Structure formats: structure tokens, C-alpha cells
């Protein structure tokens, strides 16, 4: 398995995966065309990166087998940027084979290489599988020394 950062020439593929992800979870989704434009901009932005997992040893495997989207921003919370894992997705038929773990490990390696000091991930409370996955790798939503969960508030502006 290879996990690599991909450039904006892969924006259409990333957009297709994003639509698959949104559709699987019955989330409203922008069109592939809209997402392709957004991905192209993000992939060209030095404050973001997209990873693809690929399996060249299995010609029958979908390509890519999964992807991750990360954005980085300045912060006063820590030295270096704060990274947000915006998306992490493995194609349904290849889950539970370590691809998500490989993508997350590469994300953390890349964020560290860029000087990042902290990572955030938003997860739906009902998504027990994803929460177990992230907690296994050291992510938490109850800060040490407290007994209440951190919550994410959103307001759409467009």
C-alpha cells in the first residue's frame, strides 16, 4: 500500500470520493463539479494537503482505496499550526484492513513535518466506529482533568 500527497490534477477523483462519502452517510452533497473546483483550490494551497491511499499490488482494487483531507491554520494554542482532519474515508469494501490507520499515521507524520502542534477532528456522536478508531490513536473529546465533553458549534454563513 502507498499513501501519498496528491496535487490538483487529482481534484476530480477526490471530488468523486467526497460525493461517495457524503452519499453513504446520507449527507447533503455538493456536485462533483463544485467539489472538483474546491479540491483543486485546496490542493494548490500550501496550508492544506490531500492524501490518497493506493494499492498497486492489487489490480482489482479501486484507485484510490481511501483519502484524507487536512487543513492547517495559525493558532495561539500551541507552537506551529493547528491541523484539522477535515475528511478521512476508506472505500467500504476495503475497511478493517489497516488502510485508515495507514492514512492517519501519514497525516500525523506530515502535520508534524510542517511543525503542527495539535490536531482536531469533528466526529458525529453516533459514529461509534469512527470514535473508537480515533480514540485508539490518542484523540479525545474529554480534556484530561475534566469530566465533560468538548462540543463543536457550527453556523453556516453562505
Ligand X SMILES: CC(C)(COP(=O)(O)OP(=O)(O)OC[C@H]1O[C@@H](n2cnc3c(N)ncnc32)[C@H](O)[C@@H]1OP(=O)(O)O)[C@@H](O)C(=O)NCCC(=O)NCCS
For binding to ligand X (CB under 6 A), which residues are involved? 88-90, 95-101, 123, 127, 129-130, 132-133
User: E strands within the chain?
Assistant: 2-5, 48-54, 66-73, 82-90, 118-120
CB closer to ligand X, 4 vs 97: 97
What minimum distance in Å lies between the beta carbon of 134 and ligand X? 7
What minimum distance in Å lies between the beta carbon of 147 and ligand X? 24
CB closer to ligand X, 7 vs 98: 98
Residues 29, 52 contacting (CB under 8 angstroms): no
Sign of the four-CA dihedral 141, 67, 6, 138: positive
What minimum distance in Å lies between the beta carbon of 95 and ligand X? 3
Residues 90, 66 contacting (CB under 8 angstroms): yes
| Nearest Cα residue to 91 out of 58, 116, 113, 120 | 58
What minimum distance in Å lies between the beta carbon of 73 and ligand X? 19
CB closer to ligand X, 115 vs 122: 122
Amino acid at each position: 500500500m502507498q499513501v501519498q500527497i496528491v496535487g490538483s490534477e487529482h481534484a476530480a477523483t477526490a471530488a468523486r470520493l467526497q460525493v461517495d462519502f457524503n452519499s453513504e452517510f446520507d449527507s447533503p452533497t455538493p456536485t462533483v463539479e463544485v467539489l472538483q473546483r474546491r479540491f483543486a483550490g485546496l490542493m494548490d494551497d500550501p496550508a492544506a494537503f490531500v492524501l490518497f491511499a493506493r494499492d498497486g499490488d492489487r489490480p482489482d482494487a479501486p484507485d484510490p482505496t481511501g483519502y484524507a483531507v487536512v487543513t492547517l491554520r495559525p493558532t495561539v494554542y500551541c507552537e506551529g499550526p493547528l491541523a484539522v482532519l477535515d475528511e478521512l474515508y476508506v472505500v467500504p469494501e476495503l475497511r478493517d484492513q489497516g488502510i485508515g490507520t495507514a492514512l492517519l499515521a501519514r497525516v500525523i507524520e506530515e502535520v508534524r513535518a510542517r511543525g503542527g502542534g495539535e490536531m482536531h477532528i469533528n466526529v458525529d456522536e453516533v459514529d461509534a466506529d469512527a470514535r473508537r478508531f480515533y480514540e485508539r490513536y490518542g484523540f479525545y473529546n474529554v480534556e484530561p482533568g475534566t469530566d465533560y465533553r468538548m462540543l463543536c458549534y457550527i453556523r453556516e454563513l453562505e
